[in-house]
Chain A
Amino acid sequence: MTTDDDKVSLRYRSLAREEPPRHVDEAILAAARRAADARPAPLVAPTGRRRWYFPLAAAAIIILAVAVTMHVERQRPDLEIAEALVAALPKTREGELKRELEPRAQRRAEVLGEVQKPQSVPRAPAPAAAPEPAAARDAASEMREAPGKRAAMQSRAEATAGAVAGLAKASPEQWLQGIADLRRQGRHEEADRALAEFRRAYPDYRISEAMLEKVEKK
């Protein structure tokens, strides 16, 4: 740095040293604490005689899950499909989607102000979240009555859950390409949601101008 550069730096440092207002500090720190508190407690490594508890418990759970799944599949194939669809639809189409369409300020307020949420980090929507039993039953009976409707719902749910959740597992480049594909297909709501999700997952990722043209809403 030359002396002139030093003079510029010195002058810059003479300007007012603005700081964020206290309420902003407090809001950010509170959000950070809530997010940290929402983390599940770490598992304590078992020692001594309890060392075999976890593998045994895990094996039992897996066997039980496989047995129940096979049993349910044999007994009620329609109900299972309906449950999966209902699980995907309300989560993806209504709750999450509505949330993504809210303005940024509203989302920020939600993150800064949330109290009850167990997990404050928005993640890619789980494609197989637990369904509401009553809703699942209603959907199942409705679908038994209307096979055409079932096909339509199934393809819609597959499109939504598959596209968005699948993208979240991809690399950033693949994720963006997937968003571009959604946009090209005219599935703008899903593209908007996936793009917002992408920006939260990779806040430092620089999207190229060419790619921005493809993934942003015109």
Chain B
Amino acid sequence: MEAPDEELMLAYGRGDAGAFEMLYRRHRGPLYRFVLRAIKQRSVAEELFQEAWIRVIEARSRYAPQARFTTWLYTIAHNLLVDHWRKKGLALVSLDTEDVLSESANPARHAEGREALARFLQALEALPAAQREAFLLHEEAGLTVAEIAAVTGANEEAAKSRVRYAMAKLKAAVNDD
């Protein structure tokens, strides 16, 4: 049986670099896709992805498993995203109502996939940032609504409706096929 994330993180805090490597291998893909699809700019996403792991490394001795490691990790990533959005002058309130990055549409990237997938990706990218983030936390990190609320600092009702709205818009894109 595989060691739980929380145990690995505690082991890393005690100096076990191998524990970190296992933890990293488990979460690298989902966290990277979460950041990449939330930000949509590869270079910025890579930067924030690295920064998230650096913060994990730096906080290793303070880590205390009060919640799932996944929740902790994605909270760090969420805080970085929020900082990023703030630096771009976007108020958090607006994240529910607007698509924050109009430069997101990348025709080359869309052309790579099949048409239906491209349409789906376009619909995903067109979601308001908060809804897209909630959806990605659900899909990539496998978080529950309560955990999404904890990560994003929203109340459960808000988190639930973000996931629901995101799902509704994406269903429309799927049903267009």
Chain A residues near B (Cβ < 8 Å) = 4-5, 7-9, 11-21, 24-25, 27-29, 31-33, 35-37, 39, 42, 104-105, 108, 111-112, 120-122, 199-206, 209, 212, 216
Contacts and interface: CB of A to CB of B under 8 A. Distances in A.
Nearest to A7: B174
A9 B76 contact: no
A28 B12 contact: no
A31 B15 contact: no
Contact of B47 (A17, A108, A204): A108
A15 B120 contact: yes
Interface in B1-51: 12, 14-17, 20-21, 24, 28-29, 32-33, 36, 46-47, 49-51
A14 B174 CA distance: 12
A18 B36 contact: yes
Chain B CB count within 10 A is highest, among A12, A121, A205, A212, for A12
27 contacts: A8-B170, A11-B120, A11-B174, A12-B139, A16-B112, A20-B28, A20-B32, A28-B24, A28-B50, A32-B17, A32-B20, A36-B12, A36-B17, A36-B20, A37-B15, A104-B51, A105-B47, A108-B47, A108-B54, A199-B55, A202-B62, A203-B55, A203-B59, A204-B75, A206-B79, A209-B92, A212-B86
B167 A204 contact: no
A28 B171 CA distance: 37
A35 B57 contact: yes
Contacts of A16: 112-113
A206 B28 contact: no
Contacts of A209: 92
At the interface, is chain B mostly helix, strand, loop or mixed? helix
Given A13-B139, A205-B79, A216-B86, 6 more contacts: A4-B175, A14-B117, A28-B54, A199-B55, A200-B58, A203-B55
A105 B22 CA distance: 26
Contacts of A121: 57-58, 60-61
B56 interface: yes
Chain B CB count within 10 A is highest, among A17, A32, A205, A209, for A32
B124 interface: yes
Interface in B53-78: 53-62, 72, 75-76
Contacts, number: 132
7 A-B pairs with least C-beta separation: A203-B55, A36-B17, A204-B75, A39-B15, A32-B20, A203-B76, A20-B32
A34 B173 CA distance: 46
A206 B15 contact: no
A35 B38 CA distance: 29
A12 B60 contact: no
A26 to B, nearest CB: 11
B58 A8 contact: no
